[in-house]
Amino acid sequence: MAYTQLTETERYQISSLKKAGFSQRFIAESLKRSPSTISRELKRNQEVQTYCPEQAHLKVLARRHFAKKAVKITPEVKKWIKRLIWKDLSPAQVADYLKQHKGIYMSSGDRRITQ
């Protein structure tokens, strides 16, 4: 099953059902979502015992905006990693080296390297 983020409409539905007194499990079944998804949504975005869908959606947008974006490892960077490991550098030393030389080997600024 593909991962999809909650929509603003779903957040309003969560709010309405929660105010009506329904359980998280019932809300999850109604939205065809996992109960843990509903639980996490309420835990992350609830303000002092109340869930406000507008505020929740704004928080999500802010987190998404400020989240670090992963960068794919290019074949050139893979080659450098292999060379550095071949020279007996530890993974931490390789990471430091790549951070110092990111302008040369990576074009995406200050971002994490993932595969």
pLDDT tens figures, 13-35 = 999 999 999 999 999 999 999 99
More confident residue, 71 or 54: 54
Number of H helices and E strands in the chain, helices first, is: 7, 4
The domain limits of the chain are 8-66, 71-114
pTM: 0.59
Instruction: Supply the DSSP symbol for 68.
Output: P
